[in-house]
């Protein structure tokens, strides 16, 4: 559940974690205590979580037919206007990759987390549906959904993408304009509604958990540090800490999300019964 009031009364961890824990085990232990004491946890996931399920990150080298194109040539309004069928087929190929992938232990650990804390807001920069397939509900999507399409002319509404490998771009059922992937392209603004939900959660949370993201791409990159300035403990789980900020309330846990996140959740909530069930 997402609290509507960012000034929600919060229970803070009694003492801030050390800036640079000496060992990974020590970092996990301190982070686990922070999670166990939290009433509201805000989670931000990035491409690193999906990559562990075999989904290439957006900027990785393309293969096959698509190796001659850069993502920037296929993910802009201008590209769609000039070559709608090419863009549509590329996204159809990406969608097929997602459908063949499965949620990994990091996704499962986040489902467990939602049942152990009073409030958990899950925010993602990813456009796949692995969080939902793992069992998470009410995912806040900053960049839209690869598994949905919408009207390129602006008709309201979003529709599940067809499972059929369509070669032609289908028309909008309302106006007849071409349908397009319901994702945020280069040159487009992020929808403000999900970002406002995410920002309010960052302000309100006791613990902000950043998983599988470099925290470079704005405005999502600001969310952990907004949380930190409002008194939250920030836990960063990522294979590398290059480019990540440091500070007295920031806990780095270096390693793959599929390994470190289950370990963190298990240590934090060992012996604790679920506070609520994930329906």
- pLDDT tens digit sequence for 23-66: 778 888 999 999 999 999 999 999 999 999 999 876 654 554 44
Backbone angles phi, psi at 211, to 5 degrees: -130, 120
DSSP the chain: ---S-TT------SSPPPSS-SSHHHHHHHHHHHHHH-SEEEEEE-HHHHHTTTPPPTTSPP-GGGGGS-GGGTSSHHHHHH-HHHHHHHHHHHHHHHHH----HHHHHHHHHHHHSSEEEEEES--SSHHHHHT--S-EESSEEEEEEEETT--S--EEPPSS--SSPPBPTTT-PBEEEEEPPTTSPPPHHHHHHHHHHHHH-SEEEEES--S-STTGGGHHHHHHHTT-EEEEEES--TT----TTEEEEES-HHHHHHHHHHHHTTTPPPSS---
Q: Which of 40, 131, 143, 148 is catalytic?
A: 143
CA distance linking residue 186 with residue 78, whole number of Å:
10
For 240-251, the pLDDT digits (tens) are: 887 777 777 889
| 148 assigned to active site | no
Taken in order of first residue, the domains within the chain and their CATH numbers are: 24-52+103-143+190-268 (3.40.50.1220), 64-100+147-183 (3.30.1600.10)
Q: Give the residue, 53 or 168, on which the prediction is more confident.
A: 53
CA distance linking residue 258 with residue 271, whole number of Å:
21
Specify the pTM: 0.86
Residue 22 pLDDT class (50, 70, 90 cuts): low
Model confidence at 10: pLDDT above 70: no
């Amino acid at each position: 559940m997402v609290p509507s009031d960012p000034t929600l009364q919060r229970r803070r961890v009694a003492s801030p974690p050390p800036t640079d824990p000496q060992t990974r085990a020590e970092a996990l232990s301190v982070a686990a205590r922070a999670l166990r004491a939290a009433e509201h946890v805000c989670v931000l996931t990035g491409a690193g979580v999906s990559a562990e399920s075999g989904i290439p990150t957006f900027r990785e080298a393309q293969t096959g037919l698509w190796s001659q194109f850069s993502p920037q040539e296929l993910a802009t309004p201008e590209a769609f206007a000039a070559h709608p069928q090419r863009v549509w087929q590329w996204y159809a190929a990406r969608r097929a990759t997602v459908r063949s992938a499965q949620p990994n232990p990091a996704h499962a650990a986040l489902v467990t987390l939602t049942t152990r804390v009073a409030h958990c807001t899950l925010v993602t920069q990813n456009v796949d549906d692995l969080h939902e397939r793992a069992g998470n509900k009410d995912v806040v999507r900053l960049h839209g959904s690869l598994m949905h399409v919408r009207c390129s002319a602006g008709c309201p509404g979003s529709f599940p993408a067809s499972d059929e490998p369509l070669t032609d771009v289908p028309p909008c059922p309302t106006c007849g304009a071409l349908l397009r992937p319901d994702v945020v392209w280069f040159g487009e603004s992020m929808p403000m509604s999900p970002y406002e939900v995410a920002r309010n959660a960052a302000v309100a949370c006791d613990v902000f958990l950043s998983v599988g993201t470099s925290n470079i791409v704005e405005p999502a990159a600001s969310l952990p540090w907004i949380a930190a300035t409002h008194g939250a403990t920030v836990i960063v789980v990522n294979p590398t800490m290059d480019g990540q900020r440091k500070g007295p309330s920031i806990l780095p846990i270096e390693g793959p999300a599929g390994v470190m996140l289950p370990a963190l959740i298990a240590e934090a909530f060992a012996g604790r019964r679920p506070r609520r069930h994930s329906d």
